[in-house]
Amino acid sequence: MSATQSFQGIGASPGVAVGRAFVLDNRRVRTPKVKLQETEVEAEGLRFKTSVELSSRQLEDLKEKLKRDADADPGNTQDHSLILDAHKLMLQDPMFIVEVNRLIREEAINAEWAVRRVARRIKHQFDNLEDEYFRERRADVDFVADRVVRNLLGHAMDEEVELPQDSVVVAHDVSPADAAMLVRAGKVAAFVTDMGGQTSHTAIVARAREVPAVVGAGKISESIRTGDLVAVDGNQGLVLVNPSDSQLALFRETMRRHLASEQSALKTAELRAVSLDGHQIHLNGNMEFPEEIPSLLAHGAEGIGLYRTEFLFLNRAEAPTEEEHYKAYREVLEAMGGRPVTIRTLDLGGDKVPGKKPDKEANPAMGLRAIRYCLHHREMFRVQLRAMLRASQHGNLRVMFPLISGPSELREARSELEHCRSELGRAGVPVGRRFPVGIMVETPSAAMIADRLAQEADFFSIGTNDLIQYSLAIDRQNRDVAYLYRPLHLAVLRSLQNIVRAAKNAGIPVAMCGEMAGDPTYTLVLLALGFEELSMTAGQIAAVKGIVRRTSRTEAQALLERAMEFSTAEEIERFVRTEMEKRFSGSE
Ligand code: PEP
Ligand code: MG
């Protein structure tokens, strides 16, 4: 038996799986480099043109195929067409077409070589972006270039690979088209890739389809052969190749527990999160892509508590049009069928700037981001607001503004919204009824003057990821200070108390949608504080609900009171964890 090898990557989609490897041969094809005779140049241009047309047609066929699948399965609202459309657009981009033709003509080189050179140049433009999400888009340039080169070389594309059941798909990288095609047959047990990060397409498709995935695992695809036994832990980012019997037993046990908790999660989907003394917390879902909705609904999400709309900028250099915004919002509102959908306006800025190289800011987290960015880029903001107003006819919409630091920004943003409403009204464009307009409370200043903001906002949703970052002065991206990131720091707890009190006094709803909301360790604390709504990912709903249903609010309040007598974050956390273990360990 072969020796065991272990690889550490990034856990990009939770879950555990054991299966036989299926190594996708998607290494970059070797690019022949040929100097042309002058007489060959024109024909080479034609070869390139044909290959681009063929590539475009293939993407269209693929879209059709995926659409037919979706139509045949009404529960499936997977829509990967935006990604494929973006690839098609890249094929029409003059920066790509004109440049390749220029190289063929002026340097007399073959089309394959020219395509690779232009792709490299385009990718360089993404290199300097600090944001991982936007850097990931370099991979898309490669996927498109690969397709064109393969077509030039006459290699087959988009073949239906016949996967054996429970295959662990191992690849250097998986294109969105391949990922979508592979999972649709339901035979993929897990994905493992050399490349990619949390926001790579494999990760997104895998999460949406609840297939465990480990990405960014180095050169793993070179070390695994098709047929090897592979154990994948998508929570820890761990991959074992040819595991020993004892390792395998451990993995199978984790897998069994994961499946059992997943099954019981689905069983509790219909139950409400009501404490023993009758305090109800509405559990909503956080989402980035419409693909996530079926899974959120299956896990019992009562609504959408946070739709991060900046993800609409996926894969593209240009900002989406009003129509594209509208289509996305309408789709989400309709899919949620009357349940509340909280759309957050764009949280762009800092280094997440679409279409152009961002101005370097010394301190982007404190710079021109979120609502500040939108108020500086009014037309872009209005495009989104108009789309929301139009979409509001199709469901139960709530809108919130991110990173509000004081009433002036809220007033300014609200007045933009009203401006757009009257503009549409004058133009005779139908819009829905008025909807609640709230704010994300995620700056210390907003927390301090929550009483004033509560007079002007229709609801609060606390973004703890940022509130903790700014309150404790720790960059949430910086690993070196990650140990200071403590949701149970007394300053955070007092802040939360203040915000909830202000909301209650003003009679407006208060929710939380940061990561803290979905971590069951904190559920009793949040129940004690009096939250009416928590928003989280699909996989977190059942555990949080289980805790709410098994305790009383009075008991939770007693626990919080004792916790807040301690001074250090470590003491509070130790106390809360111990109390939680006493109550809930061992019971699923
Ligand atoms: C937050 O800050 O807690 C939040 C939910 O927003 P984001 O993580 O998108 O900044
Ligand atoms: Mg935030």
Per-residue model confidence as pLDDT tens digits over 3-35: 889 999 888 888 899 999 998 875 556 778 888
d(C-alpha 179, C-alpha 188), whole Å: 10
Ligand 1 contacts CB of residue 350 (under 6 A) = no
Q: Which of 345 and 87 is assigned the larger pLDDT? A: 345
Higher-confidence residue of 327 and 51: namely 327
Q: Give the chain's domains with CATH numbers.
A: 5-24+161-244 (3.50.30.10), 38-153 (1.10.274.10), 272-584 (3.20.20.60)
Decide if pLDDT at 539 tops 60: yes
The band of 183, judged by pLDDT with boundaries at 50, 70 and 90, is: confident
Specify the pTM: 0.70
Closest atom of ligand 1 to CA, residue 464: 3
Does 513 participate in catalysis according to the annotation? yes
Question: Which residue puts its alpha carbon closest to atom 9 of ligand 1?
Answer: 308
Among candidate residues 201, 282, 299, 394, the one labeled active-site is: 201
Which residues neighbour 120 within 8 Å (Cβ) at sequence distance 6 or greater?
none
* Residue whose token pair is 């008025």: 434
Q: Which two tokens stand for residue 108?
A: 């007399």
Q: Which of 87, 299, 377, 513 is catalytic?
A: 513
Residue 239: strand pairing partners: 7, 232
Buried b (16+ CB within 10 A) or exposed e, 531-545: bbbbbbbbbbbbbbb
Give the residue whose CA is nearest to atom 4 of ligand 1.
463
* Nearest-10 crossing angle of helices 378-391, 322-335: 40
Cβ of 463 less than 6 Å from ligand 1: yes
Instruction: List the beta bridge partners of residue 188.
Output: 167
Ligand closest to Cα of 307 equals 1
Told to judge if 201 belongs to the known catalytic residues of this protein, a careful annotator would answer yes
Q: 465 CB less than 6 Å from ligand 1?
A: yes
Q: From the CA of 440, how far away is ligand 2's center (Å)?
A: 8
Among the atoms of ligand 1, which is closest to the Cα of residue 462? 3
Single-letter amino acid code for the residue at 559: L
Mean predicted lDDT score pLDDT of the chain: 88
Report which protein residue has its CA nearest ligand 1's atom 1. Answer: 463
Please report, in angstroms and rounded to a whole number, the separation of the first and last CA atoms in the chain. 37
pLDDT surpasses 60 at 154: yes
Most confident range (mean pLDDT) of 236-240, 356-360, 492-496 is 492-496
Tokens of 409: 């920004």
What distance in angstroms lies between residue 402's CA and the mean position of ligand 2's atoms?
A: 7
For the CA of 309, the nearest ligand: 1
| H-assigned helices in 73-197 | 81-92, 94-107, 111-127, 132-135, 138-153, 176-184
Contact assessment for residue 561 and residue 529, using Cβ atoms and an 8 Å cutoff: no
Q: How far is the CA of 136 from the centre of ligand 2 (A)?
A: 21
Instruction: Give the pLDDT confidence score for residue 383 in this predicted structure.
Output: 98
